[in-house]
Amino acid sequence: MHFDLREGRQATSMPPSPSPAPGRRTSLDTVDIVVLVIYFLLILAVGFWSMLRTKRSTVKGYFLAGKNMTWWPVGASLFASNIGSGHFIGLAGSGAAAGIGAIAYEWNGMLMVLLLGWLFLPIYIASGVMTMPEYLQKRFGGRRTQIFLTVLCLFIYIFTKISVDMYAGALFIQLALQWNIYIAVVLLLSITALYTVAGGLAAVIYTDAAQTVIMLAGGLTLMVFSFAEVGGWDALMSKYPNAIPSVRVPNSTCGIPRDDAFHIFRDPVNSDLPWPGIIIGMSIPSMWYWCSDQVIVQRSLAAKTLTHAKGGSLMAAYLKILPFFVIMLPGMISRILYTDDVACADPELCKEICDNPVGCSDTAYARLVMELLPTGLRGLMMAVMIAALMSSLTSVFNSASTIFTMDLWKTFRTRASEWELMIVGRLFVLVLVVVSVLWIPVIQASQGGQLFIYIQSISTYLQPPVSIIFLTGCFWKRTNEKGAFWGLVIGLVVGCIRMLLDFIYPAPQCYEEDDRPAVLKYVHYLYFSMLLSFITLFVVVVISLATEEPKPEQITRLTWFTRFDPVEPKEQVFTVEGSTMTSEVNSSPTNGMGVTGNEQENSNGKACHHRNDSSSSVSSIQRTSKIMSAVFWLCGMERRKRGDDAPAMPPPLEEAICSLEEKPLLRHIVNVNLLICLSVTFFIIGYWA
């Protein structure tokens, strides 16, 4: 059975036809394909150029881009890593379904990315860490909190990042090319494979910068076409409340736009996004994402100085204003133009239209692209969606492989060579991909077809405990390992119980009675985020005060109040080909690049090599064919020559890694821009509140 809802008619004989109603385009033309090919050639050129600029065969070169990035690629990468295809699909879908309320997440992120640059990042730089679990290990001691957070981060990446972006990108390709969604997923993974295997953080950041330009150009183009089609701003404001589908479930609210669609702050009891939850409950998981998530922080740590990192945060904050105009408002316009399809309110019709009985609002952006844009521009927008997908996926893959390799693998393989670490990091990506594909059916059925709301609700169950641990660890010196660990464990147990209840008792549709347990029915997920944060904070404070104080080495250069503490030298013993030697190294963060003691540079600047257990491997690699050598180079895994098996280390740690020095003029410039950006943020939030 096929429904042509634009005409309000029902056709009963044939399945969806490849040749739909006049004026509706469902596939790309030759010109669109040419535009896509040009896009891929451009990105490949940028990726190849960036690969030549960075030594990817070292830990520092691969995972921190040589720590030599300036402010503009850092800011562009922060934005591109955040704005994935899940945003284009999910944020536009939320706008079509429920108005502008969900944009509060984006504008809240503007404040949090500034918090990262000015409050959290100085602590991370001073500590000399490379991953966020590594920071917890240094701050609290022991390994259990580090390993626990590493495993949790990998789960969060699967549930709220990788699988969501894969699904969103595949959904767009499905609508554009009429392919099966799983075939589309395989295609997308093939596209990203080159970057995942060969890239390194430098390639990811530079290609992110190029993808940001493409995303903004395409998004602004579609916004202009959308407003021209709907009749302008006044037409959007007047027509949206009347965008009601012609087929609805009788005596229900199905398909009727919200009365508060153009307000961010909504009723504290009965609305979909209560305003107290937006102010507090939304900010806490957002703090985890922007201030302590490996994907975001890793880009800022790659900046050459603290000032450049702050500049990147400012650039990302300014860019975060744009999704409201280039994604959300076009999604609302899509509901006006294609009301019966995008806002379908009958499960059977929705199943026919988009193969999802809970709603088709997530098709809003793709419908605009395929039906509004002329030939050529549709290819550009397909490039935009793929750019959003690739920038997000490659960022997550790179960061996930970083924390798995450096925080899990090296915990159990303390003498692992860099060659081994590079192989493990790449192979782990394949595991992430398989699990993410298996999770896609769950996402399809969640949160009434609003993909963006699915992402945020899952975040509020898993992220608040982590936010509290980092917040107390960075800004309360009395926090100790026992308080942090048990606060994290208890908070996550409570959060996981709520998340499981959400999956067991999904939210009822608009025509169904709500018979869920009271904790689901009456406690909004944003309010639950506040409750979960309070529980975690209470446990951390009580246990920390009831147990021993942290050791001095767990405080020095690891909190806001101690970030300027001097780096005190101490003696450390190294092993060199079976013998021992003593050297002065920095006692506070001694492992800034995530390397083991036998790879650390001594005080005379000479690298201390560990034993080469497989001397024959060098000669065997030298006999490898030129093709294999090219493959090794492409992967950034070229073998070192004999006698150069240990990685070259950076200058002394306090100079290369931990410096918080800023030039006075540049510091004043970024501080003035901080005040301007905060003023803009509070104005737009207040205007739409």
Tens of pLDDT, residue by residue over 244-267, are: 888 877 767 777 888 888 999 988
Identity of the amino acid at 132: M
Contact yes or no for 97/359 (Cβ under 8 A): yes
User: What domains can be seen in the chain, in order of their start residue?
Assistant: 2-11+26-246+263-409+421-543 (1.20.1730.10), 567-651 (no CATH)
pLDDT tens figures, 201-240:
777 788 788 888 888 888 999 999 999 999 999 999 999 9
Give, in order, the Cα–Cα distances in Å from 406 to each of 420, 467, 575, 600. 11, 21, 22, 16
State residue 550's pLDDT score: 93
Angle at 179 between CA 177 and CA 184, to 5 degrees: 100
Between CA 504 and CA 411 the distance in angstroms is: 36
State residue 62's pLDDT score: 61
User: End-to-end distance of the chain based on CA atoms, in angstroms?
Assistant: 43
State residue 313's pLDDT score: 95
State residue 540's pLDDT score: 97
Q: Among candidates 365, 432, 369, which has minimal Cα distance to 402?
A: 432
Q: What DSSP character marks residue 611?
A: P
Residue length, the chain? 689
Between CA 484 and CA 470 the distance in angstroms is: 9
Q: How confident is the model at residue 111 (pLDDT cuts 50, 70, 90)?
A: very high
State residue 350's pLDDT score: 83
Between CA 340 and CA 343 the distance in angstroms is: 6
Q: How confident is the model at residue 611 (pLDDT cuts 50, 70, 90)?
A: very low
Provide the mean pLDDT of the chain. Answer: 77
E strands, 101-172, where? none
Report, as an integer, the average pLDDT of 595-609: 36
Lowest mean pLDDT among 274-283, 328-337, 437-446: 437-446
Between CA 523 and CA 178 the distance in angstroms is: 40
State residue 617's pLDDT score: 42
Between CA 147 and CA 137 the distance in angstroms is: 9
E strands, 482-588, where? 569-576, 579-586
State residue 254's pLDDT score: 77
State residue 401's pLDDT score: 82
Identity of the amino acid at 420: E
State residue 571's pLDDT score: 46
Is the pLDDT confidence value at 45 over 50?
yes
State residue 90's pLDDT score: 81
Q: How confident is the model at residue 645 (pLDDT cuts 50, 70, 90)?
A: very low
Residue 522 CB partners (closer than 8 Å, separation 6+):
none
State residue 608's pLDDT score: 33
Percent above pLDDT 70 for the chain: 73
Between CA 336 and CA 230 the distance in angstroms is: 8
Report, as an integer, the average pLDDT of 293-301: 88
Report, as an integer, the average pLDDT of 357-372: 84
Between CA 356 and CA 349 the distance in angstroms is: 9
Q: Tokens 């709500």 map to which residue?
A: 514
Is the pLDDT confidence value at 330 over 70?
yes
What's the Rg (C-alpha) of the chain? Answer: 26
Angle at 171 between CA 169 and CA 174, to 5 degrees: 110
State residue 103's pLDDT score: 92
Is the pLDDT confidence value at 615 over 50?
no
Q: How confident is the model at residue 597 (pLDDT cuts 50, 70, 90)?
A: very low
Residue 465 CB partners (closer than 8 Å, separation 6+):
487, 488, 490, 491, 492, 495, 532, 533, 536
Is the pLDDT confidence value at 374 over 80?
yes
Contact yes or no for 77/252 (Cβ under 8 A): no
Q: What residues form DSSP beta bridges with 69? A: 303
Report, as an integer, the average pLDDT of 651-666: 66
Contact yes or no for 204/77 (Cβ under 8 A): yes
Between CA 611 and CA 646 the distance in angstroms is: 9
pLDDT tens figures, 487-528:
999 999 999 999 888 878 877 777 778 888 888 888 888 999
pLDDT tens figures, 138-177:
999 888 998 989 888 888 887 777 777 777 777 677 766 6
Identity of the amino acid at 528: F
Number of helices and strands in the chain (H, E): 33, 4
Q: Between 404 and 56, whose confidence is greater?
A: 404
State residue 5's pLDDT score: 30
Question: Residue 62, CB half-sphere, CA atoms under 13 Å: how many?
Answer: 32
Lowest mean pLDDT among 95-99, 150-154, 627-631, 655-659: 655-659
For the ranges 247-256, 324-333, 365-374, the maximum mean pLDDT occurs at: 324-333
Alpha helices in 505-594 (DSSP H): 518-521, 525-546
φ, ψ of residue 175 in degrees (nearest 5)? -70, -35
Q: How confident is the model at residue 198 (pLDDT cuts 50, 70, 90)?
A: low
pLDDT tens figures, 552-588:
999 999 999 999 988 765 444 444 444 444 444 444 4
Between CA 284 and CA 608 the distance in angstroms is: 44
Tokens for 69, please give them.
């990035």
Report, as an integer, the average pLDDT of 56-79: 73
Report, as an integer, the average pLDDT of 44-57: 68
Tokens for 439, please give them.
């999770």
**HEC profile of 271-332:** CCCEHHHHHHHCHHHHHHHHHHCHHHHHHHHCECCHHHHHHHHHHHHHHCCCHHHHHHHHHH
State residue 637's pLDDT score: 56
Contact yes or no for 71/308 (Cβ under 8 A): yes
Report, as an integer, the average pLDDT of 343-361: 81
480 three-class SS: coil
Q: How confident is the model at residue 641 (pLDDT cuts 50, 70, 90)?
A: very low
Q: Is 74 exposed, middle or buried (0-12, 13-18, 19+ CB in 10 A)?
A: buried
Q: How confident is the model at residue 648 (pLDDT cuts 50, 70, 90)?
A: very low
Lowest mean pLDDT among 63-77, 184-198, 645-659: 645-659
pLDDT tens figures, 389-410:
777 777 787 788 888 888 888 8
Q: How confident is the model at residue 42 (pLDDT cuts 50, 70, 90)?
A: confident
